[in-house]
Amino acid sequence: MSARQVACCVYCSCFENAGNIFPMKIVGLVLLINCCFSVMIVAPVSSRSIIDQTGTTVELSVEPKRVISLAPSLTEMVFSLQAEDKLVGATLYSNFPEAAKNLPRVGSYTQLDLERIVAIEPDLCLAIKDGNPRRTAEAIKALGIPVFAINPRTIEQIMDAFLLLGDLLGVSKRAEDLVSGMRHRLVLVEEKVASSQTRPTVFFQIADIPIISAGKNSYIDRLITLAGGTNLAGDMTDYPRYSWENIMLLQPEVVLLSSMAGGKSPELLKVSWQRWQEIPAVRNNRLHVVDADLFNRPTARLITGLEILVEILHPEYSGKSSAK
């Protein structure tokens, strides 16, 4: 067993036995520190420093060749950069593209399996600030494994994250080309929206029992605004809950139903709405089921979600879309 694995076992044991007597915690922490120092002593001198999207300086002793992605969005981003040959592990629900399903799993992005991560022997872990537990990320660092984190909150920051990852993984040109294409598509959307005379009100349902929507500062809120719509939950924080009485008062002109809501078929997702003919979106047949991953994940496909949203909100621009 390697020093990292021994330290990992001790670390995990400390947390599993948090109720044990205080001296046991001290022993565990001392062993962890000793193991970490033994790793540090034999490690080569760091050859590169890079600042991640949280402002943290990450020290790299080698060019990353064994990378674990700690979130489905990061897995997808690495594939978009055609750097998937470096991936040796990913979290649950890393399902796009199809090849991502074959990667070894290291838990979910909120409940990472530290022992599994160490066993894979990565030279780098990719993390996302809004999702991965900070305690686990710090534990990975303490075991001598660099952690590079992204923290994209807007489409612009997603593009910045691609450029950072491109530099980190040695595929800067691919990242620049990808971002250039995203910017071009974004400009086309902005031009379409600028010429529209309408700004329909939108209710985006991300869960159906209870009914939950997306408030301000969410990707969904920003996409609705960019697509020329008004998010009816846009003045709420986080992910507000609604009753049917609330929705009746809102009178949405367009309703978007996330495909992740209850794991139901598009037809079943629409059924609960179709009984409320008093709602303009229902009366005018403007209920649309959309692919959740195109609106929730900070990836290049968010631009595809935006393009679909423009077609839904402004039918004059409609073409092929993933809405149903």
The reported pLDDT for the residue numbered 217 is 84
> Are 273 and 287 spatial neighbours (Cβ–Cβ below 8 Å)?
yes
Please indicate, yes or no, if residue 205 is contained in any of the structural domains: yes
Same domain, 265 and 178: no
Q: What is the rounded end-to-end Cα distance, in angstroms, of the chain? A: 52
The reported pLDDT for the residue numbered 29 is 42
Please indicate, yes or no, if residue 270 is contained in any of the structural domains: yes
The reported pLDDT for the residue numbered 268 is 86
Q: Write the DSSP symbol of residue 246.
A: H
How far CA 69 is from CA of 104, 110, 132, 158, 197, in Å, comes to: 10, 13, 11, 16, 43
The reported pLDDT for the residue numbered 1 is 52
CA dihedral 214, 219, 220, 222 (to 10 degrees): 110
Same domain, 49 and 178: yes
Per-residue pLDDT of the chain (324 residues; tens, 9 = 90+): 554 554 455 445 554 444 443 333 433 443 444 454 444 444 444 479 999 999 999 999 889 999 999 999 999 999 999 999 999 999 999 999 999 999 999 999 999 999 999 999 999 999 999 889 999 999 999 999 999 999 998 999 999 999 999 999 999 999 999 999 999 999 999 999 998 889 999 999 998 889 999 999 889 999 999 999 999 999 998 899 999 999 999 999 999 999 765 567 888 889 989 999 999 999 999 999 999 899 989 999 999 999 999 999 998 876 544 455
Between CA 298 and CA 122 the distance in angstroms is 24
Among the three residues 195, 210, 243, which one is the final residue of a domain in this structure? Answer: 195
> Are 232 and 252 spatial neighbours (Cβ–Cβ below 8 Å)?
yes
What percent of the chain stands above pLDDT 70? 82
Same domain, 52 and 25: no
Same domain, 184 and 112: yes
Per-position DSSP letters for 51-109, written without gaps between them: E-TTS-EEEESS---SEEESSHHHHHHHHHTT-GGGEEEB-TT--SSGGGGGSPB-B-S
> Are 270 and 256 spatial neighbours (Cβ–Cβ below 8 Å)?
no
The reported pLDDT for the residue numbered 12 is 52
Please indicate, yes or no, if residue 322 is contained in any of the structural domains: no
Opening angle at CA 302, ends 296 and 303, nearest 5: 160
The reported pLDDT for the residue numbered 17 is 47
Which residues constitute the domain of residue 31?
1-42
Same domain, 8 and 77: no
Beta bridge partners of 237: 216
Between CA 176 and CA 181 the distance in angstroms is 9
CA dihedral 278, 280, 281, 283 (to 10 degrees): 60
Please indicate, yes or no, if residue 243 is contained in any of the structural domains: yes
> Are 74 and 128 spatial neighbours (Cβ–Cβ below 8 Å)?
yes
pTM of the model: 0.83
The reported pLDDT for the residue numbered 156 is 95
Residue 124 backbone phi and psi in degrees, to 5:
-165, 140
- For the chain, the domain total comes to 3
